[in-house]
Structure 1
Amino acid sequence: MSGALFPGWRPDAGGREQVATLADRLREARPDGAPRLQPRRPDQWHATLCFIGYDAISLVTPALADALADAARHIPPHGFTIERVAYWPGSGAVVALPHDCPTLQALCDATRDAIRRCGIRPLQVTTQPHVTLAYLGRHLPAQPWLDGIDCAVGTLRVERFELLFNPGGRYEALGEWALTGTGIPEEPEQARLF
């Protein structure tokens, strides 16, 4: 049982079709003799916005829900496109990486800040949003066959996010918030010292 807890984005029905197209291309691109792919199910596709931790269900409080709702009010609905598919040897994950999307990163940062305002120290902040498509073995050499995968599947829409809990093998939404902001929050500017 995982016990993972995090705010995350999951694709809507249209987005699941787009990710399914990319997952099909991944399977078709796998050459004979390449490590076996262990694909994620469509109901498992998500982007973690900020990882709170494991066995942290006790941290789900009205204050956390309010803080995440506040974060949603400051980030506008937006979209992102997939730049490439990559293999991460540490986890064995095969991930879809988006083109640079400041609004998606702002959403990650806003959820991180919301969590911290509740006195919770996230286990891992998200600096490179991604969608895990499959797993290969861990610590394998580079997988150059991934470089040729056509990632043009259109724009994936981010209009809401959820607080997700993994009790084992699936994700349960403990809360959901629509994005209603009108612009990306300004980064605070540090005053010059000299």
Structure 2
Amino acid sequence: MLEFEESTLNRYAIQRRLARGGMSNIYLAHDEQQHTVAIKVVNSGNTDFVERFRHEVAALKALKHKHILPVLDHGEHGSWHYCVMPYIKNGTLRERIARGPLTQEEAGKILAQLASALQFTHDHGILHRDIKPSNILLKDEDNGQHVYLADFGLAKGVEEASDLTLAGCLIGTPEYMAPELADGPAITSSDIYALG
């Protein structure tokens, strides 16, 4: 993965890298009004990654739901494609779990919000295909935590024939994948299995 080494990306001032992934990097940035945002950046040199990125942006633009991380902006800058999202400073469910067990009430509230987001996603004909704690963002609010389902990089339409994947390759994170994915394509119940 090539590094994005510029200090600005269009109207965004890059502060630091937040995460490195197989297909993209995510950076902390500020816009012209000093709002803090997260920017996912993909190099245009890898056409497969760019195609997945375009699918992700299209999926997120189609899914307007209070528990799905929204796209604020997207575009191209030099040899880079980017997608701007709100920065959720409280971290991921994975980080929260690492600090200790969830209470029953906390787990129930998180699950209810995720189930709502996933139902909405499926109702709009989209499979997430990578539900896992690191793709679930938590934002502290007065009445508890607000949950966002994020990272639709592996998403595909339920009826979509192409999944941008080589035949015989598994898609997703093995620890959270439904067993039937070893022999067949992802379906809505695959996402539900990964949810819990």
Asked whether the two chains share a fold, i.e. TM above 0.5, the reply is: no
Normalised to the residue count of structure 2, the TM-score between the two structures is: 0.25
Normalised to the residue count of structure 1, the TM-score between the two structures is: 0.25
User: Which is bigger in relative contact order (C-alpha 8 A, separation at least 6)?
Assistant: 1
